[in-house]
Amino acid sequence: MRVLIFKPGEANEYGYSLAVSLVQAGLNITMVCDKDYNLEKHFNVVFKPKKIFHGYIKTEGKLVKGLKYIISFIVLIFTLLKERPNIIHIQWFKFTYFELFLFQFLKLFNIKIVYTCHDVIPPNASKLEVKFYSGIFNKMDLIFTHSEVSRKEIINQFHIDENKIRKITFGNYTIVADNYNKDKLKSRESLGLSTDDNIIMFFGSIRKYKGLEILINAFRKIKEINGVQRLKLIIAGGGFCKFFRLSNEHLDYIKNNRDIILDIDYCDYNRMGQYFAATDLVVLPYKRISMSAVLATSLSFGRPIIATEVGGLPEYIIPNETGFIIPSNDVDMMVQTIIDAFKNKDQLLKMGRKCREYADKIMSWEIVAKETIEGYKYVLNK
């Protein structure tokens, strides 16, 4: 079985882990990604992807970006002609319209198209984009989702044949956690934090749907009532996204509060490991999402989670064992959950060990590979 995994973009830990697990299961795998993503620099690479797509510089004009993409596109076509895969497995689109046309053309050569739907509809998608994704779902031979909620959403909203959609497990991020785990005490010292501090963290890009303002409001309330002594908040990850700006009130509160560490620059693996090592509890106050890499990363680093009851998040959390599930947009419930969580630090540590155990056993890449191959066989035998 020959499979080409199409995963453009910078973040390729997931695509790489999938490719490795499928190779270990005996499949012939080709993975294409961006030239700028240097896996060899960060990990002990046992499988080398083909780096086809050119990265973009913000100062480059549309013409230069277009020419770069056309060159990458031509290289991709030659790669496909050389590899002659039975299946193309799309993990993400770079330029959706062009790539969808290419992949539909390839179906004339009896190449099956499989799509992993990490997010049913991208955040802030226009009505036209929603309609376009309906076309994507209809044209795929098989669609993978990471939760039963997402599977049902696609079936009900886009009227897709349920036999064409399968739920597969979202794989862990132990590849990052094992290589960049840090000492807790040293990490806190380097961040100017104490061993006695109680630390919660929001990690990842700041977008409207992620509800950071809800967490800030909850943190503020806890401080006002002194609900948790020595409570600190870390806000770190992928910077301020163009889709969202915090209000001036929230920004002023953050900047003038010594109990909040704000790092809006993109975090490399070393800083990521440092922040997760220093943290007691990761908070995902999301308003909507299908699945979250931050959740998988938190579990892999052995950090309990407070997550809102949206998308597939509850399907990956064992209440009171690996985390806590609360309603979305509920500041008071978040306040109470954070206060209750820190009443017993030993219990939080126990939950952290359970988190890593869950990531290793339930979200293992052996399981993901098995479920993926079952989907491939279904498509080829259909």
What does the pLDDT look like over 356-368, one tens digit per residue? Answer: 999 999 999 999 9
Give the pLDDT confidence score for residue 239 in this predicted structure: 63
Burial class (CB in 10 A: 0-12, 13-18, 19+), 218: buried
- Does the pLDDT at position 11 exceed 80? no
Copy the structure tokens of residue 258.
């010594």
Region at 312 (left for phi over 0; alpha for psi -120 to 50; beta for the rest): alpha
Annotation: CATH topology of 2-171+364-381: Rossmann fold (3.40.50)
Mean pLDDT of 182-201: 96
Q: For residues 64 and 49, is the Cβ–Cβ distance under 8 A?
A: no
Residue with tokens 């209440």: 319
SS3 of residue 28 by DSSP: strand
Mean pLDDT of 106-121: 88
Please list, in sequence order, all residues whose beta carbon lies within 8 angstroms of the beta carbon of residue 59, skipping any fewer than 6 positions away.
none
Q: How far apart are CA 86 and CA 107, in angstroms?
A: 10
Which region among 79-93, 119-133, 186-200 has the lowest average model confidence (pLDDT)?
Answer: 119-133
- Does the pLDDT at position 170 exceed 70? yes
Copy the structure tokens of residue 222.
């806890």
Burial class (CB in 10 A: 0-12, 13-18, 19+), 256: exposed
Percent of the chain with pLDDT over 90: 64
Please give the biggest Cα pair distance in the chain: 66
Identical fold between 2-171+364-381 and 174-361: yes
Q: What is the pLDDT of residues 234-281, one digit of tens each?
A: 999 766 555 566 788 888 899 899 999 999 888 889 999 999 999 999
Please list, in sequence order, all residues whose beta carbon lies within 8 angstroms of the beta carbon of residue 311, skipping any fewer than 6 positions away.
147, 149, 150, 286, 288, 289, 290, 291, 292
- Delimit the domains of the chain by residue range: 2-171+364-381, 174-361
Q: Does domain 174-361 correspond to CATH entry 3.40.190.10?
A: no
Give the pLDDT confidence score for residue 196 in this predicted structure: 95
Q: How far apart are CA 143 and CA 113, in angstroms?
A: 9
Q: How far apart are CA 250 and CA 248, in angstroms?
A: 5
Give the pLDDT confidence score for residue 316 in this predicted structure: 98
**This prediction's pTM:** 0.92
Q: How far apart are CA 309 and CA 284, in angstroms?
A: 10
Q: Which residue has the higher pLDDT, 100 or 4?
A: 4
Q: Which of 181, 194, 209 shows the shortest CA–CA distance to 269?
A: 181
Q: Which pLDDT band holds residue 3 (cuts at 50, 70, 90)? A: very high
- Does the pLDDT at position 296 exceed 70? yes
Q: What is the pLDDT of residues 16-63, one digit of tens each?
A: 999 999 999 999 999 988 887 777 778 877 888 888 887 666 667 778
Q: Mean of the per-residue pLDDT values for the chain?
A: 90
Burial class (CB in 10 A: 0-12, 13-18, 19+), 57: exposed
Mean pLDDT of 63-78: 84
